[in-house]
Amino acid sequence: MAEPVPLQAALAHAADRLAAAGVPDPVVDAELLAGHALGLGRGEVQAAALRGDDLAGQDAETLAEFVRRRATREPLQHITGTAPFRHLVLRVGPGVFVPRPETEIVAQLAIDALMAAASDRPIAVDLGTGSGALALALATEVPHARVYAAEKSDAAFAWARENFAAIGAANASVHLADLADAFVELDGTVSVVASNPPYVPDGAIPRDPEVRGYDPPAALYAGPDGLDVVRVLSRTAQRLLRPGGTLVLEHGEWQGEAVRTLLAEDGWRAAATHPDLTMRDRATTAVRL
C-alpha cells in the first residue's frame, strides 16, 4: 500500500502539473479535485493542508488519477460530476453543456423580469434547457412562478431530468421537445422566455479545449453566423409570450448588435444588450409587442 504524503505537498504537485498543462486556475482545480477525492469542500481541504494533514496512500492515488484526467483538459465538472450554478449544484457529464458562471447574468435578467410580471403566478419557459440550469434557477428563486423547460437532445434531456428530480422544484417541469413547436398549449400566456442557445459560428473554433473537445457540438454551433437557433427562438418566443412579455437570450460577446438587429426585424421592441460580470456583452433582452 502506498505511503501517506503531506496534503500540502500533494496539492502543490497537482497544481504544478495542471499549470504545465495550461489549466487556467490550477491551484483552485487542485483543491477541488482533492476535495472530490476526500469528500470535502474546498475550504476544508485548505484547512487540512494548513494543519499539516497527510493524504492517505489510496487517496493520493485517486487524486493523481483525477489530476491526470484534468491535465488532458477533461472538464473539471466531468471529473467531479457536478457544476455549481447560482445556489444550485447540478449533475453534469458527457452529452450536456456544462453551465458557466457567465450564464448567471442571464438567469438574473430572467428572474428580475419574472418577479416584475403582473401576475400572481407568472409562467416562464426555458428553451434548450441543457442541464436545467436556467429553469431550475427560475423555479427555485421565483417560487410563485410556473416554469417549463424544453430540451431536444436525448442525452441532455437525461441530465436535465436527473437534476429536476434531485432538486425537486414542484413548480417546474422538463419536456423533450423541439424548440420550434414547444409548448403550443402555452401560446400567449408566458411572461418570460429565457434561453442559452448554441451561438458559435460553424467555422469558429472555441478557444478552450474543454469546450471544443467535450461540450456537445449541438450545444455550441448554430450556422454561419452562429444565430440560426436565435432566429428560431425569436419566432417561438413571439408565439409563447403574452403582450409585454420578456425574452432573455445569451449570446457571444461580439453578437449583441446582430442579435438586436435580428430581434428588431422580427418586431420586438426595447432590445437591449447587457454585460456579464467580466463586462463582456453576454445577453440581450427584448419585449413582445
Instruction: Work out the average pLDDT over 279-284.
Output: 95
pTM of the model as a whole: 0.91
> What letter does residue 267 receive in the DSSP assignment?
T
Listed in sequence order, the residues at least 6 apart from 269 whose beta carbon sits closer than 8 Å to its beta carbon are: 286, 287, 288, 289
3-state secondary structure of 18: helix
Q: Give pLDDT, residue 207.
A: 86
Q: Give pLDDT, residue 1.
A: 55
Smallest CA-to-CA distance from 160 within 187, 130, 135 is with: 130
pLDDT interval class at 4 (50, 70, 90): confident
Smallest CA-to-CA distance from 263 within 285, 281, 240 is with: 285
Each residue's pLDDT tens digit, 41-65: 999 999 999 999 999 989 999 999 9
Domains defined along the chain, listed by start: 5-72 (1.10.8), 82-287 (3.40.50.150)
Each residue's pLDDT tens digit, 176-212: 999 999 999 999 999 999 999 999 999 998 889 999 9
Averaged pLDDT score across all residues of the chain: 96
pLDDT reading at 72 higher than 90? yes
Grid cell, residue 189, equals 400566456
Q: Give pLDDT, residue 24.
A: 94
